[in-house]
Amino acid sequence: MGLPLSRLSVADVARHALSTGLVACISNSTVWRWLHEDAIRPWQHRCWIFPRDPQFQAKAARILDLYERRWQGQALREDEFVLSTDEKTSIQARLRIHPSLPTAPGDACGARIRARGGAWADLAALDVHRAKVFGRCEATTGIAPFSRLVDQVMSQPPYDTSRRVFWIMDNGSSHRGEASVRRLTQAHPRIVPVHGPVHASWLNQIEIYFSIVQRKVLTPNDFPCLEAVAERLANFERYFESIAHPFEWKFTRADLNALIARMRSRYWQRQHLKLAA
C-alpha cells in the first residue's frame, strides 16, 4: 500500500479501498465484519501458538508438570524445589533535567529526562512454590554472571541440603544447551537444569515477576544513579516476598495436549480443503 504504517486500522483499510476505487462506498463496521468472518486473521496471530521447536510438546509438558510438583510421573518430595530463572537486560538509570511537572495534554509523564546513567542486567530466580525471589544486578549477562546467581542461591538453605533443585530456563546464551547442563551439574550436583522450548517465554514464571518489576519499580524511570536502581530492585524483592503468594498457574499438561490436538486438527482440515480445491 506504500503507507508509512506498520499496522493498519479498520479505518485505514476502508480509506484505502475507497481511494483505489475498489468500492464506491464502505463503512468501517463493514470492513470489520468482513475481517472478523474471514478464516485468516493475522491481527490475532500469537507466535507461541505455532511451535518452532520439534520437541515443543515434550519440553513444555515437563515444565508444566514441575509447576504441579511432578517430575517424570512422580510427585516431588518436600526437599525438592523448582526455580524459574532468566535475565532482564538494559535496566537504565535515567536522570531528570527538571523537577516533575503536572501532566499536560498529550504528555504521558511530567518528568523531563536529561541523560542515561548506565544500565544493569537484573538476573533473578523465583522459587515458584514458595514465592521467594533471588536477584542480583550485573553489568552484563553471560555465563559468569549467571553462575554467580546460581552460586548465590545454591549456597543457602534449603537448597544447599536439598535432594534436587530444578532450574527452569530458556535457551539464552548464558545457559544454553548441553554445555550449560554439564557446567551447572558439575558445580552443583543437586541441580536439574530444565530448558524450555525455543520461543516460549510464556512458560517461564519469572517473566511474570519481571513484568511486575517493570510496572511497579521501573516505571517511571527516575533514578539518580545505577546504585539507586540496584537498591530499589533489592528492596522490592524483600517487599514482594512479604506480600506475595505463588502464582496461580492453571495451564496444565492436559491443557497443552488438548491445545496441540486442536492445532493438528485444524491443520489437517486446512490441508484437506486445499486438496479439495
Print pLDDT tens along the chain (277 aa).
566 666 678 888 888 889 888 888 999 999 888 888 776 666 665 555 567 788 999 999 999 999 999 999 999 999 999 999 999 998 988 766 666 566 666 655 555 555 556 789 999 999 999 999 999 999 999 999 999 999 999 999 999 999 999 999 999 999 999 999 999 999 999 999 999 998 888 999 999 999 999 999 998 888 888 999 999 999 999 999 999 999 999 999 999 999 888 888 876 777 777 776 6
- Specify the pLDDT at position 108: 53
Query: CB 208: neighbour CB atoms within 10 A?
Result: 15
Q: How far apart are CA 154 and CA 138, in angstroms?
A: 18
Query: CB 72: neighbour CB atoms within 10 A?
Result: 6
Q: How far apart are CA 211 and CA 215, in angstroms?
A: 6
Residue 25, all three cell numbers:
462506498
Per the confidence metrics, is the pTM higher than 0.85?
no
DSSP H or E segment with residue 91: strand 80-98
- Specify the pLDDT at position 131: 96
Q: Which letter, b or e, does each residue of 21-44 get, where b requires 16 or more Cβ atoms within 10 Å of its Cβ?
A: eeeeeeeeeebeeeeeeeeeeeee
- Specify the pLDDT at position 107: 57
Nearest 5°: CA angle at 51, between 166 and 76? 20
Tell me which of 2.130.10.10, 3.40.50.720, 3.40.190.80, 3.30.420.10 is the CATH number of domain 56-98+110-243: 3.30.420.10
- Specify the pLDDT at position 117: 60
Q: Which of 198, 251, 223 is nearest to 53 (CA)?
A: 198
Domain segments of the chain: what residues?
56-98+110-243
Query: Which residues make Cβ contacts (< 8 Å) with residue 256, sequence separation at least 6?
Result: 57, 60, 61, 64
Concatenate the DSSP letters of all residues of 136-151 into one string: EEESS-SHHHHHHHHH
